[in-house]
Amino acid sequence: MRLVLVGPPGAGKGTQAEFIAAHLAVPKISTGDIFRANVVQGTPLGIEAKRYMDAGQLVPDEVTINMVRDRLAEADAADGFLLDGFPRTVPQAVALDKLLANLGAGLDLVMELVVDDDEVIRRLSGRRQCHGCQKIWHVEFDPPSRDGICDRCGGQLYQRDDDLPATIAERLRVYARDTAPLVDYYGAQGRLVGIDATGPVEDVTLRAIDALRSYGG
């Protein structure tokens, strides 16, 4: 299955992507994670991306599209994938359609995680991520058993630079302006399913998997 997850920052895309990708047995491809890995490694891509990420802005389409094109060409994505955080502009969506058409394939489904701005702010302000295995935690909603330490791998947890209040506000503005139009874009293609992303993580996962089943996933 070729699936895209869309939703505002903090909707739970990264959290749900882990479970959904495991359910579908496809690789999870997160453009945010790829950019962050490049930032840590200090690559030219990471240095360029960091300027935009820290300001809550999107990395330019051309840079992002080229990066995703290379990633989708890898062998593990040949039979399906879950894209988390891409596309997030209409030009990116058009580029993805063309890329897949050239491979004789198409997207099966676009799943929108629906959650309001107040919940997004609560989720992002308490988010912590593991330096080691990238697992996502929350100080209130999903705390590790030891403060600042990942239960899964023992790595150190950190707060993302773009999870500061002013940057969160800018990311929400950018989402409304540049990414929300994808809902109409994919709705018009008949590929969109929206799910309620509020409530406990496990409940959201069940809703997502139910929705996938009704589309053959």
Which listed range, 96-104, 135-143, 147-155, 187-195, lies at the site for ligand AP5 (CB under 6 A)?
135-143
* Per-residue binding letters, 84-103, with ligand AP5 (x by CB under 6 A): -xx-x---x-----------
- 185/180 Cα distance (integer angstroms): 9
> Residue 3 or residue 204: which is nearer to ligand AP5 going by CB?
204
Based on the shown chain and the rule CB under 6 A, indicate whether residue 123 belongs to the binding site for ligand AP5.
Answer: yes
- Smallest distance from ligand AP5 to CB 107, Å: 15
> Residue 7 or residue 217: which is nearer to ligand AP5 going by CB?
7
* Annotated active-site residue in 36, 88, 128, 135: 88
> Residue 1 or residue 49: which is nearer to ligand AP5 going by CB?
49
Show contacts with ligand AP5 in window 3-42 (CB under 6 A). Answer: 7, 9-15, 31-32, 35
Based on the shown chain and the rule CB under 6 A, indicate whether residue 157 belongs to the binding site for ligand AP5.
Answer: no
The DSSP result for 103-131, as a single string, is TT----EEEEEE--HHHHHHHHHTEEEET
Residues contacting residue 160 through CB under 8 Å, at least 6 positions apart = 36, 127, 129
Backbone angles phi, psi at 47, to 5 degrees: -65, -40
CA distances from 149 to 35, 39, 56, 130, 137 (A): 23, 22, 27, 8, 10
First to last CA, the chain: 7
